[in-house]
Structure 1
Amino acid sequence: MAAMDVFLDRLDPDMCVVTAAAHGERAGCLVGFSSQCSIRPVRYVVWISDVNRTFRVARSADVLAVHLLARDQRGTAELFGGLTGDDVDKFRRVRWREAYGGAAVLADAEAWFVGRVVERTAGGDHVGFVLEPVEWGGRERAAGQAGGPLLRLADARTVRPGHPVD
Structure 2
Amino acid sequence: MIDLDPFTDLLDYPMYVVTAEADGERAGCLVGFASQCSIRPARFMVWLSRANRTYRVAERAERLAVHLMRRDQDRLARLFGGETGDRTDKLSEVPWHRRPGGSLILDEAPAWFVGRVEKRVDGGDHVGFLLAPEATENLAADRTTLLTLTDTHAITPGHPAD
- TM-score, length-normalised on structure 1? 0.93
CA RMSD of aligned residues (A): 1.3
Deviation at 1:31, TM superposition (A): 0.2
What do residues 22-61 of structure 1 show as CA deviations (whole Å, max 9, x unaligned)?
A: 0001000000000001111000000000010000000000
Q: Are 2:142 and 1:163 equivalent residues in the alignment?
A: no
- Look up the equivalent residue of 2:31 and give its one-letter code: V
Alignment of 1:54-93 (within 5 A): 54-93=54-93
- Look up the equivalent residue of 1:79 and give its one-letter code: L
Deviation at 1:2, TM superposition (A): 6.8
SS at match of 1:108: coil
Equivalent residue for 1:29? 29
Unaligned runs of 5+ in 1: none
- Look up the equivalent residue of 1:74 and give its one-letter code: D
Q: What is the identity percentage for the equivalent residue pairs of Structure 1 and Structure 2?
A: 56
> Aligned pairs, how many?
162
Equivalent residue for 1:16? 16
Unaligned runs of 5+ in 2: none
Deviation at 1:110, TM superposition (A): 1.3
What do residues 110-155 of structure 1 show as CA deviations (whole Å, max 9, x unaligned)?
A: 11000000000000100000000001113253xxxx2320000000
Q: Is the 8 A contact 2:111 2:140 kept in 1?
A: no
What do residues 91-116 of structure 1 show as CA deviations (whole Å, max 9, x unaligned)?
A: 11111001111110001101100000
CA distance in structure 1 between the aligned counterparts of 2:118 and 2:10, rounded to whole angstroms: 31
CA distance in structure 2 between the aligned counterparts of 1:3 and 1:79, rounded to whole angstroms: 30
Q: Are 2:90 and 1:97 equivalent residues in the alignment?
A: no
Deviation at 1:88, TM superposition (A): 1.0
1:23–1:10 CA distance, 2 compared to 1 (3 A): same
Deviation at 1:86, TM superposition (A): 1.2
- TM-score, length-normalised on structure 2? 0.96
SS at match of 2:40: coil
CA distance in structure 2 between the aligned counterparts of 1:139 and 1:125, rounded to whole angstroms: 33
SS at match of 1:164: coil
CA distance in structure 2 between the aligned counterparts of 1:127 and 1:29, rounded to whole angstroms: 14
Q: Is the 8 A contact 1:115 1:134 kept in 2?
A: yes
- Look up the equivalent residue of 1:155 and give its one-letter code: D
